[in-house]
Structure 1
Amino acid sequence: MARVFVLGATGGVGSHLVRHLTAKDDEVVALHRSSGQAEQLSADALPVLGI
């Protein structure tokens, strides 16, 4: 299991990457720009609000 930080986790590429990594049981820290975007993330990802 790896710990991975994903920038743009709610974007087109980032969202697929987050789903793939969480399916592999990797720990995902996901950066997003607005609080509403956190709802789009996989429940297994740790959301981090960026500015």
Structure 2
Amino acid sequence: VPGLSEAGLDLLSQMLTFEASRRISAKTAMQHSYFDDIDPALRETN
């Protein structure tokens, strides 16, 4: 993906893992370093 940061590529790779048991969960994905610049209150999941 042109212009995507290294952290973004890492997250995308983890999200696109074919084997579901090895794929990153939505909750864990929201804690990824790619989202470090976003207000933590906006990253909270229920």
TM-score by length of 1: 0.34
Structure number with larger C-alpha Rg: 2
Between Structure 1 and Structure 2, the one with more strand by share is 1
Q: Which has the higher contact order (CA 8 A, sep 6+)?
A: 1
